[in-house]
Amino acid sequence: MQTILIIGAGKSSSYLIDFLLESAGPKNRKVIVADMSEKMAAEKVKSNPNATAVAIDIDNSEERISLIQKSDIVVSMLPASLHPIIAKDCLTFGKHFFTASYESEDLRKLANEVKVKNLLFLNECGLDPGIDHMSAMKIITEEKAKGHEIISFKSFCGGVLAPESEDNPWKYKFTWNPRNVVLAGQGVSRYFQAGQIKCIPYHKLFERLDKVSFSQAGEFDGYANRDSLKYRSIYGLDNIPTILRGTLRRSGFCQAWNVLVQLGMTDDSFQMDFPKGVSYRSFLNSFLPFHPSKIVEEKLQEYLPKINQDTLSKIEWLGLFSEKPIPYAIGSPAAILQKILEEKWQLGPKDKDMVVLQHQFEVKGAFGVKEIISSLVCKGENQEYTAMSKTVGLPLAIAVDIFLDGKIKSRGLQIPVHKEFFEPILGALEKKGIVFEENEKLEIH
């Protein structure tokens, strides 16, 4: 009997756990779901006879190791910072290790040992990263096989709201880790355009936008992710003149978010210590120049003169002009802002999320240059079965399933950019309704 250990039973694990439970009986497998909350794990297991729900304290090494030793494969749905702890245990006890998270430097340090022990440590097998890699590589592989040259590749992905749930001026609510949203883009974003390296510092990031349209979901703004340069080699496009990976938000979001960035309200590098009961208005005012008589709204418009009425309405809707006390008075600006946003951008009981992903290719061949647009739109069902949970959890679950079926022979530290991974996973995803719409057209110059 094969035993699968899933560590972490949070929101993104619903589809993953259901998929693996569905095949557990027919394939003679046992699933252990471990979470800090045994109750949460039990809710996900749903009394399935082939599964066990247990509590786990990640800091308790004996408890952690005991569970890992009982398994054949470990799936970590924990925050990315905790993956190395689990990965090192898996290496010690000879267990395969799968995650949806980016392959970290800590994981790369284990690469040689993983290979020597003939283990598979698969990372970046969720949505972004994951489905984005696999769907891009499918097209890249097909076009190269035809002898075509890919001269431009742009890819954008976003976790947003379904249109029917866009009931606030930002047209946004948290569908993923709030802290990651607040700190998104910090550092320098780098990409290639027309053979030149382009760098966008954080304070300019939300001003440099691409318009991205979907036939099923409308228009979005895309801003560049931190480092697109490394994907030239990952995708086998070492000499491609243009490559950019970015994040999607509804049109208008980035202009308003940029106000918070310019003020310094997304800064996580220092602590603020306000008197108890300080207001949202005073929190905002603390980032504006002093003036003996002008009100906050006047100072804001003078300090950032490009602000329009639409942006002002978004700032006002957050309550930042109000006298309401801030949620807590001690913390970094980013932490205080996050707490404010968690109250305002919380998904309601009837809200549905949506995932949007688009690849834009320019391909050169005997025909000239053609454009390929490959788009995915996936809507969530409800608060538990979200589009984010579906697109993050299902690729990982499918990878676990086909690996245990013996259909993946690769070992070592891997991401799913090879046919052995992406062909069966994308095929299985199509059966679950995760389907790309592809359009091609010749460019006329």
**Per-10-residue mean pLDDT for the chain, 445 residues long?**
95 94 95 95 93 94 94 95 96 97 95 97 97 98 97 97 96 89 92 96 96 95 94 95 97 96 96 93 96 94 93 96 93 96 92 97 95 97 92 98 97 97 98 96 74
CATH architecture of 257-344: Orthogonal Bundle (1.10)
The answer to whether the CB of 13 falls within 8 A of the CB of 77 is yes
pLDDT score, position 176: 77
Superfamily grouping for domain 2-123: NAD(P)-binding Rossmann-like Domain (3.40.50.720)
Q: Which fold has domain 131-254+350-385+436-442?
A: Dihydrodipicolinate Reductase; domain 2 (3.30.360)
> What per-residue string of b and e applies to 379-410 under the rule 16 or more CB within 10 Å gives b?
bbeebeebbbbbbbbbbbbbbbbbbbeeebee
135: tokens are: 């769907």
Distance CA 132, CA 417 (A): 10
pLDDT score, position 219: 96
Beta bridge partners of 74: 5, 97
Give phi and psi for 433, each to the nearest 5.
90, 5
The whole-model pTM stands at: 0.93
Domains 2-123 and 257-344 share a fold: no
Domain coordinates in residue numbering, the chain? 2-123, 131-254+350-385+436-442, 257-344
Distance CA 264, CA 378 (A): 34
